Each structure stands twice: as structure tokens, then as C-alpha cells.
Amino acid sequence: MDVVSPELNSLLPDEIMDTEAIEDVPQPQPVATTVQSEPSDDTSVPMETDTPMVSESLSLSLATSTATTKTTDSVTGTSVSTSGLQKLTAPFTISPANHQIILNKVASSQATEAAKSVGTQPQVIKQEGQKLLVTAIGKSGQPIVLQLPHTGSKPGVSQTSGDTKSQAPQFKVVTIGGRSELKPVVGSASNQVTTLQAQQLKAVQIAKKTPASSAAPIKFIITKTVNSKGLSPQTSVPPVIAGRVLTQNSPVIPPRTITLSETHNTSIQSIPGKKIAISPLKTPSKVTVVSVASPTSNTSQKSVALPVNVALGQQILTVQQSTSASPVKVATSQSTAQSIKPVQSVAVGGVGGSQFKTIIPLATQPNVQQIQVPGSRFHYVRLVTATTASSTGQPSGPSTSSIQTGDLSADIFTVVFIWQMVAPKPLTSAAQVVTTTQTQQRLIMPATPLPQIQPNFTNLPPGTVLAPAPGGGNVGYAVVPAQYVTQLQQSPFVTLASSSGFPASTGIQTQARLPLNGLSTAETTSRPRKPCNCTKSQCLKLYCDCFANGEFCNNCNCNNCFNNLEHETERLKAIKTCLDRNPEAFKPKIGKGKEGESDRRHSKGCNCKRSGCLKNYCECYEAKIMCSSICKCIGCKNFEESPERKTLMHLADAAEVRVQQQTAAKTKLSSQISDLLMRTTPVISSGGGRLPYTFVTKEVLEATYECLLEQAKKAEQTHQPQAEAERMILEEFGHCLMRIISSAGKAKADCASINC
């Protein structure tokens, strides 16, 4: 494992926070209750934000950001509403030691302290001593610990704060934020089968400790919605099983994968991976979920797609399940997945449908968990050590999971940032990377030097780059290119699609998109990155755009390419070399300008001499920005008042308009031709608006031919020029076609009138 200098952290923020590169996912603006992350959080996450997306990026809010979150069962129509729910703008914290997942920002201590100040305990969902600590980022949120229930716990039982031993056999719907009553817990495993199959909804109840008494816990709702699609009625395994929490410490405990996610045509797969691809990336638009898996885990993981709405204090984590998810697979995977792997993964689907967050168990640490949270562009994952987690329970049934309030005492050692949600792809068994994207993904995983966790990172695959956060103490960062995930998925040994329980998403764009050179997200996402053509650099130098963008070469034309998983060592070395040479080598070149200057400018400026900075040789021009004072160009014409530039821009605009018009014309013509063919093509079946008869019959063709021939003869007799003759013939042909179409339409109408 390589640790890069703290400078790496400095380059992360810009890209991370550059939300322009993030694929646009509809995210409703939070109502007044939305909690904004504090800029001060940047201390732990040194990000330079070109756009004020901090809160959104860190937000786990998925389905709704409004104060009131309502989860409705698609089948039964039952709904659970939580008032005062807000976006949970908290990163995840994972405690490998105690299976704790803390959804909180680096400054989780702040939230924890705040919670303590009000006398509240972090809400914990425990399973056999495993805790999920969900805390709001920044100030107002109180940490919530989701502790997995013991197997023997009874369904529907709400856990009070401090009762870490009590176990809930199943997920419960818990409302957090002012509501004292607990939602009825979803039925037991057996019940869940029926209930879930019917309702396709799973609710996770999370009890929140109240400051004064645990009797009236504040609730936040975690609901799981399973897509009925593809769900076989005979399926013996209910989606609820997916949410089952098993004791990781137990050797026979099946790997736990809890997917709280929108399954929107996306597949989430948790694969026991041995590697984590972490590499410094250049652009913010890419976010890759990196899995830190134990090399020893070789069993299948269970994944559960859960729409989760988590309201914590004033913060809310909302996850809605998409309808496209295949619950059948989930159930299957869960039923099949058994105790071999100690991996827990939680996937949370957001409204956007393509976004996921995954918390993956780190290495062999039993406490490591995977969490996928869809719906949030930017995610935070922190790994913390939980000192109070209890792990004695045995996983009873697939449907048993409980949420308890519990103590949170953990040492933060690792922080994982995940942003740029993407459509999940099948994961490889060798890697625990969970998410894939239509857009580029990048995973930044801060790693802390805690000794107990350090061993885990030794299992990271080559290419992993870990960097300590500047002044972050025990917090560091690791950047992983989304491409890594893609490669893992493309690897021959990656075949979890069938076992993942999630349908493999189709049409997923494997090539990550970067807001390269300041291009907008739409620009970068609308067109695929050009394949490189490197011949001598082995794609391991910045000459290679793929490498420079932190991507693996994919479908490129390069020769002797080393920018792939097969040459991880070389790649890592090259990355280090580049970083040694220039710590900001992978930082976006287009950043924010000085005060009063343009919002975007080249970080280093160009050095053009002959192009006048009006050709794409110039990086400024290529990025569609003006040259700035830091440029060293000669004969620059790329400034605001430049007539050459204006002319060029006008020409470019005109050309673009022409292209658009041509495209539209082609589309229209194609549509017309298609429509014509539809009308004239003989159709046996009368469905789909097709004409029931064959109108272009042999007789029609012969008649048309006669007409055309007659027109030709007429032209010849009148000694018309060839061009005129052709025109006449074509004109006649057009008339023939019109008559055919007219006849066809009339015949169809007549047919319809007689109901044929």
C-alpha cells in the first residue's frame, strides 16, 4: 500500500466537490429542515468546493428531502410517515472492530457530542454487537447507531436506548424526530415472506435513545422496498431476508449484505473482494465505491435492497426503492448466502435510482461493513472502532434484524468518501467494489493509521493510494478511479450477477466521465471519453488522458498498455512517480479563479506560442475558458474582447446549430421513413397499428412501374434533358407513393370501421 503525501488530500476536495461532474440525479431541495454541512467540516475533508454541493454531496438523503417523509407500500398502500425528517447529511462511519457503521462526517465527534449534550445516545442498530452509527453531518444531527439484532430477538420489538442486548428479529420502522411511537415491525421471517412478497416493502425499525428515557425513542424510518419484478410467487425467500443481520464473528454466520437502495434498473452486488482499487484520480466527477474486503472471504454475500428513510433529529436519510429491482434475486442470494463471508453490505437506493452507497467490510475485520446508499451524490464513509459493540448473538432467521439504541464509543480510523452515484453493476468476486456508474465514479477512502485497522489495508490491491488528511491526525484519504470498478466487473472472474440478487443493469456506461478541463457534467457525460492511442507511454504517463484522468484504459487503441488491472504494480508506481513529480498531477486543471476573476480558469495557465490559444491545442480554449493572467501564452487571442475568438465562437455555435438541425432532420426523416415502411410493409398480424393488409402488392408494383415507365417515355418524347427526365420520373414516383399511402390509410380506416 502506498501512502501519498498529504498533498493528495488537497487535490481531492476540488474534484470531489465538483458536482458538475456528477451525473445529475433529481434531488428535491430539502425543506427548511435540511441540515447543511458546515464548511468547517472541510478540515477533515479538505475539499475545495466550486459549487455549494457540500450538503448535498454528503447527504444520504435519497427519496425525499422534505421535512416529511412518507413511505408507501406499493401493494398495500400502507405508508409510514415521519415528520421532521431531514436529509441526513452524514457520512458513514464503519467500525471494523465492532461492525459499526457510522453515518457521519469526519467530525462525527461533534455530532456525538451534541447528542451527548442533549443527553441522547446515538441510535444503534445492533446485530450481534455490530453497530451502525448514523449521525448527522455537522452540527444538528445526532448520531444513530444501527445495531444488528441477535438472532433470538423477537420481531417487532423495539429496542430502547442502552439496551444493547435486546434483539429485534427483524427490521422495524422507526420514526425519528419527535414521534415517540414505534411503527409496527414487519412480520417475522415467515411473515415477512408473505408480507414482503405482497407488499414488497420492508421496514427497518431503528430505536433512538431519548435523552431522558429510552421508553420513547425517536424513530427514523428505514424501509425496504423490494421490487416485485421478477419476483416469483414461489420464492421461498422473502426480500426481508436480505435485511437479515447475522453475526459476523460467528464462523457460520453468512455474510450480511443489507442493501438500502433504489434498485432502479440497477444491480447491486456485493462481492467478497480481496482488493480495493484506490488510486488518485483527477476529476471530481468520478466516484467509485471501493471495497475493502478480506482476502479470505470467499463466500457469497447477501444483498438486500432496502428503501430507507432515516430521519435523525433534524436530519433525514431517505432511501426509496426503485421499482425495477428484482427481489427474487435478492431473496435467492440471501437464501443462498450463508455464513461463509463475514461481510456486511448495506445498499441504500435513492430516488435517483442509479446512486448507491456501499459499505464494505474491510479486510478480515469482522466489523467491516458495506453500505450502499443510492440517492446521494456524495457519500461519506467513516470507519470507526466501536468499543461497546456486543457480538454474542446468533443469527436466527433470515428475516431477523433489530435496531437498538446503544452506546457509541469508537475511534475513528478510516473515512471513506464516496460520491458520484452510479448505476450498480455486477461485481467481481475478487473485489468488493459495489457500485458502478453511468458516469464516472471515484472513491476516496480516507484511511487512518489506527493499528488495528492498518492490517486491513495491506490487503488493498496494488494501485491503492492512501494519503493522510492534512492535519487530519488519523484520517487519510484514498482515491479510487471508477474505472477500477469497471475493470473488476469486466474481469473474467467477476460473475456475481446471478448470485447478487440484483439484475445486471443494462446499458451501463462503463467508461467514467470526468468534467475534464472544466467541461460541464452534461458535456462530459453526454459523450464518451475518447479512447487513447498511446504507443510509447504504456498509458502510464500523463500523456495518456486515461491515466491522467485516473481511469483505466478501456476500449482504447493504445499499445502495450499498462493502465489496467493486469499491471497494477506498474500503475501504482507510475502514479507515485507522477505525484512525486507533481502532487497536483491528478488534480483538475480547471479550477476556481481568484476573487473577481472568472469562475473557472486553468490552474497553471497555458503556454501556447503558435496557436493563438484558439485551437484545442490550448488547454484553456479546449476547456472553453478564457486565458488568464497566469497563462504564459504568446499571441493569445483567447480573451473576452478578442474578435477572433468571438468569430470562432460564432462559427462554432453556427456549426453546432447546423449539426443539431441536421440531426433533427435526420431523425424526422428516419421517423417518416420508418412510418412509411410500417404502413406499407405487409403485416400478417394486425397489432400495433400496422395495416392489416399488404398494400404494396405485385399489382401495385407493376402499376407503379408502368407509371414511371410512362413518365420516362413522355420525357423522352418531349426531348427533355436527362435531369428533367429524372425529375419527372421521381415526381411520378412520389405521386405513386402518395396514392399507395392514401389507399392504405383508407383501407385501414375501412377495416377499422368494420372491426376487422
Partner DNA sequence: GAGTTTGAAACT
Partner DNA sequence: CAGTTTCAAACTC
Q: How far is the CB of 536 from DNA (least distance, A)?
A: 4
Q: Which is nearer to DNA, 581 or 719 (CB)?
A: 581
Among 527, 609, 666, 668, binds DNA (CB under 7 A): 609
- Contact status, residue 450 vs residue 411, Cβ threshold 8 Å: yes
Among 8, 125, 578, 744, binds DNA (CB under 7 A): 578
Tell me 431's DSSP state: B
Among 296, 582, 686, 720, binds DNA (CB under 7 A): 582
Q: Which is nearer to DNA, 16 or 539 (CB)?
A: 539
Task: Check binding of 532 to DNA (CB under 7 A).
Answer: yes
Q: How far is the CB of 607 from DNA (least distance, A)?
A: 3
Q: Hey, what's the cell of 480? A: 479510487
Q: How far is the CB of 535 from DNA (least distance, A)?
A: 4
Q: How far is the CB of 650 from DNA (least distance, A)?
A: 16
Task: Check binding of 637 to DNA (CB under 7 A).
Answer: no
Q: Which is nearer to DNA, 116 or 573 (CB)?
A: 573
Among 198, 216, 542, 747, binds DNA (CB under 7 A): 542
What is 363-403 written as a DSSP string? TT-TT-EEEE-TT-SEEEEEEEEESS---------TT----
Q: Which is nearer to DNA, 2 or 619 (CB)?
A: 619
What is 677-741 written as a DSSP string? HHHHS--SS--TT--SS--S-HHHHHHHHHHHHHHHHHHHHTT--HHHHHHHHHHHHHHHHHHHH
Query: Which one of the spans 155-163, 207-215, 356-364, 612-620 is the region binding DNA (CB under 7 A)?
Result: 612-620
d(C-alpha 293, C-alpha 443), whole Å: 15
Among 90, 362, 460, 613, binds DNA (CB under 7 A): 613
Q: How far is the CB of 110 from DNA (least distance, A)?
A: 38
Q: Hey, what's the cell of 63? A: 427519496
Task: Check binding of 530 to DNA (CB under 7 A).
Answer: yes
Among 29, 492, 506, 581, binds DNA (CB under 7 A): 581
Task: Check binding of 527 to DNA (CB under 7 A).
Answer: no
Q: Which is nearer to DNA, 418 or 519 (CB)?
A: 519
Q: How far is the CB of 648 from DNA (least distance, A)?
A: 10
Strands 309-312 and 315-318: antiparallel
Q: Hey, what's the cell of 487? A: 475493470
Among 536, 646, 658, 666, binds DNA (CB under 7 A): 536
Task: Check binding of 668 to DNA (CB under 7 A).
Answer: no
Q: Hey, what's the cell of 525? A: 457525460
Among 236, 520, 526, 533, binds DNA (CB under 7 A): 533
Query: Which one of the spans 162-170, 246-254, 314-322, 606-614 is the region binding DNA (CB under 7 A)?
Result: 606-614
Q: 186 in helix, strand or coil? A: coil
Among 469, 618, 625, 691, binds DNA (CB under 7 A): 618
Q: How far is the CB of 256 from DNA (least distance, A)?
A: 43
- For residue 551, the one-letter residue type is E
The radius of gyration computed from the CA coordinates of the chain, to the nearest angstrom, equals: 29
- Contact status, residue 397 vs residue 379, Cβ threshold 8 Å: no
- For residue 541, the one-letter residue type is K
Q: How many chain residues are in contact with DNA, going by CB under 7 A?
A: 35
Task: Check binding of 534 to DNA (CB under 7 A).
Answer: yes
- Contact status, residue 141 vs residue 135, Cβ threshold 8 Å: yes
Q: How far is the CB of 528 from DNA (least distance, A)?
A: 13
Q: Which is nearer to DNA, 536 or 658 (CB)?
A: 536
Q: Which is nearer to DNA, 536 or 650 (CB)?
A: 536
- Rounded to 5, what percent of the chain is helix, strand, coil? 25, 15, 60
Among 619, 638, 645, 711, binds DNA (CB under 7 A): 619
d(C-alpha 642, C-alpha 133), whole Å: 57
d(C-alpha 205, C-alpha 227), whole Å: 20
Q: Which is nearer to DNA, 260 or 575 (CB)?
A: 575
Q: Which is nearer to DNA, 558 or 691 (CB)?
A: 558
Q: Which residue has the cell 441526513?
A: 88
Query: Which one of the spans 205-213, 243-251, 604-612, 719-727 is the region binding DNA (CB under 7 A)?
Result: 604-612
CA angle 124, 95, 389 (to 5 degrees): 50
Task: Check binding of 647 to DNA (CB under 7 A).
Answer: no
Task: Check binding of 514 to DNA (CB under 7 A).
Answer: no
Q: How far is the CB of 463 from DNA (least distance, A)?
A: 16
Q: How far is the CB of 700 from DNA (least distance, A)?
A: 42
Q: Which is nearer to DNA, 488 or 544 (CB)?
A: 544
**Which has the closest alpha carbon to 556: 537, 526, 589, 534?**
534
Q: Which is nearer to DNA, 276 or 618 (CB)?
A: 618
Task: Check binding of 610 to DNA (CB under 7 A).
Answer: yes
Q: Hey, what's the cell of 407? A: 452506546
**Which has the closest alpha carbon to 423: 25, 10, 16, 19?**
25
Length of the chain: 756
Q: Which is nearer to DNA, 79 or 557 (CB)?
A: 557
Among 241, 482, 608, 691, binds DNA (CB under 7 A): 608
Task: Check binding of 624 to DNA (CB under 7 A).
Answer: no
State which of positions 330-349 bind DNA (CB under 7 A).
none
Helix axes 722-753, 643-680, angle to 10 degrees: 60
Query: Which one of the spans 189-197, 283-291, 438-446, 541-549 is the region binding DNA (CB under 7 A)?
Result: 541-549
Tell me 4's DSSP state: -
Tell me the per-residue interface mask from 543 to 562 with DNA, x by CB under 7 A, - otherwise: xxx--x--------------
Among 606, 623, 729, 744, binds DNA (CB under 7 A): 606
Q: How far is the CB of 519 from DNA (least distance, A)?
A: 11
**Which has the closest alpha carbon to 419: 8, 11, 60?**
60
Among 176, 585, 725, 736, binds DNA (CB under 7 A): 585
Tell me 618's DSSP state: S
- CA dihedral 520→521→526→527, nearest 10 degrees, is 70
Query: Which one of the spans 34-42, 375-383, 476-484, 533-541 is the region binding DNA (CB under 7 A)?
Result: 533-541
Tell me 187's DSSP state: P
> Is the Cα torsion angle 481, 483, 485, 487 positive or negative in sign?
negative
What CA–CA distances, in Å, run from 286 to 12, 159, 434, 588? 11, 39, 14, 12
Q: Which is nearer to DNA, 30 or 463 (CB)?
A: 463
Query: Which one of the spans 98-106, 487-495, 534-542, 681-689 is the region binding DNA (CB under 7 A)?
Result: 534-542
Maximum C-alpha span of the chain: 106
What is 76-145 written as a DSSP string? T--EEEETT-------EEEETTTTEEEES-TTHHHHHHHHHHTTPPPEEEEETTEEEEE--SSSSPPPEE
Q: What is the Cα 596 distance to its own chain's centre? A: 35
Q: Which is nearer to DNA, 436 or 554 (CB)?
A: 554
Q: Which residue has the cell 438486500?
A: 304
Q: Which is nearer to DNA, 639 or 733 (CB)?
A: 639
**Which has the closest alpha carbon to 587: 38, 26, 48?**
48
Query: Which one of the spans 45-53, 611-619, 676-684, 730-738 is the region binding DNA (CB under 7 A)?
Result: 611-619
**Which has the closest alpha carbon to 309: 225, 244, 241?**
225
Contact residues toward DNA (CB under 7 A) are 530, 532-537, 539, 541-545, 548, 577-578, 581-582, 585, 589, 604, 606-613, 615-619, 622
